[in-house]
Structure 1
Amino acid sequence: MDRILIVEDDFAMLETCAQVLARAGFEVRTAGSGREALEVLQASAFDVVLTDLRMPEVSGLDVLRAAKHSDPETVVILITAFPTVDTAVEALKQGAADYLLKPFSTEQLRDAVRQALDKRRAKEEYGFLRSQARRAFTPGGLIGRSEAMLRLFDELRKAAAVDAGVLLVGESGTGKELAARCIHESSARAGRPFVALNCAAIPETLLEGEMFGHEAGAFTDARKSRAGLLEQANGGTLLLDELCEMTPPLQAKLLRALEEGKVRRVGGSDPIEFDVRFIASTNRDVRRELREQRLRADLYYRIAVIEIHVPPLRERKEDVPLLAAHFLEEYSRAYGRTFEGFTRAATDCLTRYDWPGNVRELRNTIERAVTYGKGPLVEVEDLPAAVQAAGQEEDEVDFHRWKERTLERLEKEFLTRALRENDGNVTHTARALGIHRSTLQRMMRKHGISGGS
């Protein structure tokens, strides 16, 4: 339950505000003067401070400064019947969340408090998600905390421990190249070349020379010799992205090079030895490609010693808020914008949507929101129409049940583990997570985690 301190020297106004907010489900404490409020703030912490601006001796601005000194994350709302530009600017500089102009309705009072709290929660959740994202990184840059991704990380670690060929299978945009980089950077070949070749992006007539290299004069415009990617990747890893786009004749040449450990440049005759680990990826149905002979079985069995499925984003929706926070931080920095998180409605839209374009589509969506949005929070209106429509589906009860069961469980597990790593010390844990101590304490209360020191 959120705790609110109401500071007002008009007793009738003080009682009315207290009754309205108590009926709205808040825990309310009152102070009849600014001086009394300073004493209360020294002894207790509050989520919201609602204070009159004009009071004798100790003003609302004095209460604002004291509340922010006690806890920078406290939401402070000022009440006044005499607004001025100078006062408003000073209040915003000091960190006031909102102004309420007298007279105001009970509905305006409730809305002001709820909206201010929603903004703070969004900001805190964003900071917490960024902290989780930093800890959820793999060496190759994959991010995830879902069961599907934990299984993937385990498979990638096992693949990194040996030097066998790997085939990564998954839809477009799932992060297959990042998975390949993770294997490389976790293996004994880390620190050596990692070379990626997109077989779908290079015309067939150029692909052979790109892969095997060529000698001077091998074809028109070949004025000097050039090492192919097999030579450039020597000692390291070569990723053949979208392997099934390679023609069967070229697959046969690749197979021969693999089996011999030697490459002959186009237009050359001397074999050149190479030592490369092969990783291939495809978004095709491998079994169908084999049946229809678009993928050579002998090459498949040579490369796919280990086959790993990279899950689509719709199968790991609990990772969507984590990824969204990571991309929001990345693009806010890239575009010089200030964003503090997502509204709850925007997060619901992002989590409900099925993401046919997977992580690539989510990245694009967040970049678009940063360029279009006004901030400081990403709103539903900043998202593409298809993502917005996902938030209007009528499975509200089932969705929120899933959200509580899955997302909040992961959040609680992360908090518990972080506290354990810091021997239960709240201050050290908050510092390690990069969040304010009061934010951590609020999240601990939310999840019923008993406090340490």
Structure 2
Amino acid sequence: MAHALIVDDDASTREALATTIRDEGLTVSVAGNLQEARVQIQRHTPDVAFVDLQLPDGSGTDLFGDLDPRSGVMLVMITGHATVESAVDALKAGATDYLVKPVNFQRVNAIVGRLPRAGDLKAEIGALRGELRRMGRFGSMLGSSPAMQQVYDQIGRVAPTALSVMLVGKSGTGKEVAAQTIHQMSARHKRDFIAVNCGAISPNLIESEMFGHERGAFTGADREHKGYFERANGGTLFLDEITEMPVELQVKLLRVLETGIFMRVGTTTEMVTDVRLIAATNRDPQQAVQEGKLRLDLYHRLNVFPINLPPLGERGDDIALLAQSFLDELNARFDTRKRFPPAVSDMMLSYSWPGNVRELRNYVQRAHIMSRPESDTTAVVPLQISLSTPAASSTITIPFGMSLDEADRQLILATLEQCGGVKVRAAEVLGISLKTLYNRLMEYRLPDATDNDEEVGAAEEAAARTTRT
């Protein structure tokens, strides 16, 4: 039988917790301070410990050193003075959950209900780390760059807890995939993961979608509707673009996060939900607070554990790894065996990817679709050059008396530089064929100017197709 330890200097809190936990079938021991708690640990190592942050003889986190983390003990911090700093400190010390006084006993029941999975979760996380080393994968995420390994470490730390997570990153960096990975590595992974884009729901309907409505609650409400919080009960709710949620609804969201209680639209009956919340934004959340787009109190409640998703341009070799993964998916779907020609690989590595992983996936799909059916390589299609990132110089100066050959040379080289070295794009801008561009570069005796017949042929075929359509 599982055993729980309750450490709190308030006798009424100890007794209420003990009664609730015993009703769940656990044995319970109690202590009013660190000294008593250490005695209880010597007598019987607990499977779960509920520890008050502020005790008469020290901090509750001091007790974590007396419990072997390898044994799989769940450590739940309790406090009457919740702050972001205290939550993060408790997490770093080894806590797996965080309760605020007055204690929500529905959450206590949920924590105890997840107890049998604690050891399994650690094994799963260890297996995922091993998979990362072997294949560059971590759950649903892909990449082995230092920037992503830091993200994996953070996810591996926070996933087994019930803490709220704030994912911050530019559009297309994979925030929803990161949220799915957190869910997969949590004790809730057998329950639903529901993703909601707050900016895609009509402001008039978002409250009904979040909390549900009763039949007849408003015009058109001809049936009972379960909202996201009700449907995600026991699982994870991912709120993407949280700064797009109407401010008036943010007040109700904060209440649900603090109490686990909500009401459907059109009724005064309270309902209880146990939901792990992950929020995301592509904006600076602190700037959103200053602009009035995000309530400060909600920001602090969501930002307990922030994770920044790096842009693709900062992930180095992950670009090639991701591109190959996307191509493998397309090959499997269409029963092809295409590979990237050197020209495409070079373009992908030299591009800044302002659209991040989403833009890379779209490019690989275009290159696969535009390739000839009989070819074993993808097509060499031009990248969409970012207009928001101009090169160092967009003009050249032709002094009086310069020869036409030299003027041509400077124009070609300047255009190539403007296009980031992507020859297909440079030829398109100059209005010449790729074959002609290669011939000119060979005349200038520049490195990497060797004619690539396969690349030229693919580019000409792509151009011909565009002309025919």
Q: Output the TM-score relative to the length of structure 1.
A: 0.55
Q: What is the distance in 2 between the residues matched to 1:137 and 1:383?
A: 29
* Deviations 1:52-97, CA, capped at 9 Å, x for gaps: xxxxxxxxxxxxxxxxxxxxxxxxxxxxxxxxxxxxxxxxxxxxxx
Cα 1:386/1:378, change in 2 over 3 Å = farther
| 1:274 equivalent in structure 2 | 273
Structure 2: tracts of 5 or more residues without a match: 1-130, 387-415, 427-447, 449-469
Cα 1:134/1:230, change in 2 over 3 Å = farther
Q: What is the distance in 2 between the residues matched to 1:384 and 1:353?
A: 8
Q: What is the distance in 1 between the residues matched to 2:132 and 2:232?
A: 34
Asked if the contact 2:370/2:378 (under 8 Å) is kept, the reply is no
Question: Do residues 346 (structure 1) and 344 (structure 2) align?
Answer: yes
1:178 CA drift (Å):
0.5
Question: Do residues 392 (structure 1) and 422 (structure 2) align?
Answer: yes
Asked if the contact 1:211/1:228 (under 8 Å) is kept, the reply is yes
Cα 1:317/1:323, change in 2 over 3 Å = same
| 1:154 equivalent in structure 2 | 153
| 2:359 equivalent in structure 1 | 361
Asked if the contact 1:133/1:322 (under 8 Å) is kept, the reply is no
Question: Could you tell me which amino acid in structure 1 is paired with residue 365 of structure 2?
Answer: E
Asked if the contact 1:133/1:326 (under 8 Å) is kept, the reply is no
Q: Bigger relative contact order, structure 1 or 2, given CA contacts below 8 A and separation 6+?
A: 1
| 1:13 equivalent in structure 2 | none
Among 366, 371, 374, the residue aligned to 1:373:
371
1:134 CA drift (Å):
8.3
Cα 1:132/1:332, change in 2 over 3 Å = farther
| 2:187 equivalent in structure 1 | 188
Q: What is the distance in 1 between the residues matched to 2:240 and 2:136?
A: 25
Secondary structure (helix, strand or coil) at the match of 1:204 reads coil
| 1:204 equivalent in structure 2 | 203
Correspondence 1:132-171 to 2 at 5 A: 135-139=135-139, 141-171=140-170
Question: Could you tell me which amino acid in structure 2 is paired with residue 390 of structure 1?
Answer: G
Cα 1:320/1:275, change in 2 over 3 Å = same
* Deviations 1:235-267, CA, capped at 9 Å, x for gaps: 011001100000110101111122221110010
1:191 CA drift (Å):
1.0
Cα 1:191/1:383, change in 2 over 3 Å = farther
Structure 1: tracts of 5 or more residues without a match: 1-130, 395-399, 401-453
Q: What is the distance in 2 between the residues matched to 1:383 and 1:319?
A: 21
Q: What is the distance in 2 between the residues matched to 1:359 and 1:342?
A: 17
Cα 1:132/1:197, change in 2 over 3 Å = closer
Q: What is the distance in 1 between the residues matched to 2:232 and 2:182?
A: 15
| 1:294 equivalent in structure 2 | 293
1:174 CA drift (Å):
0.4
Secondary structure (helix, strand or coil) at the match of 1:187 reads coil
Cα 1:245/1:134, change in 2 over 3 Å = farther
Q: What is the distance in 2 between the residues matched to 1:299 and 1:312?
A: 26
Cα 1:332/1:258, change in 2 over 3 Å = same
* Deviations 1:288-308, CA, capped at 9 Å, x for gaps: 111122100111111110000
Question: Could you tell me which amino acid in structure 2 is paired with residue 271 of structure 1?
Answer: E
Asked if the contact 1:365/1:383 (under 8 Å) is kept, the reply is no
| 1:404 equivalent in structure 2 | none
| 1:174 equivalent in structure 2 | 173
Secondary structure (helix, strand or coil) at the match of 2:221 reads coil
Q: What is the distance in 2 between the residues matched to 1:355 and 1:303?
A: 29
| 2:327 equivalent in structure 1 | 328
Q: What is the distance in 1 between the residues matched to 2:202 and 2:383?
A: 34
How much is the aligned-residue C-alpha RMSD, in angstroms? 2.4
* Deviations 1:170-219, CA, capped at 9 Å, x for gaps: 00000000001111100111111111111011111111110000000011
* Deviations 1:305-326, CA, capped at 9 Å, x for gaps: 0000000101113101100100
| 1:429 equivalent in structure 2 | none
Q: Output the TM-score relative to the length of structure 2.
A: 0.53
Q: What is the distance in 1 between the residues matched to 2:183 and 2:208?
A: 25
| 2:313 equivalent in structure 1 | 314
Cα 1:132/1:263, change in 2 over 3 Å = closer
Asked if the contact 1:174/1:311 (under 8 Å) is kept, the reply is yes
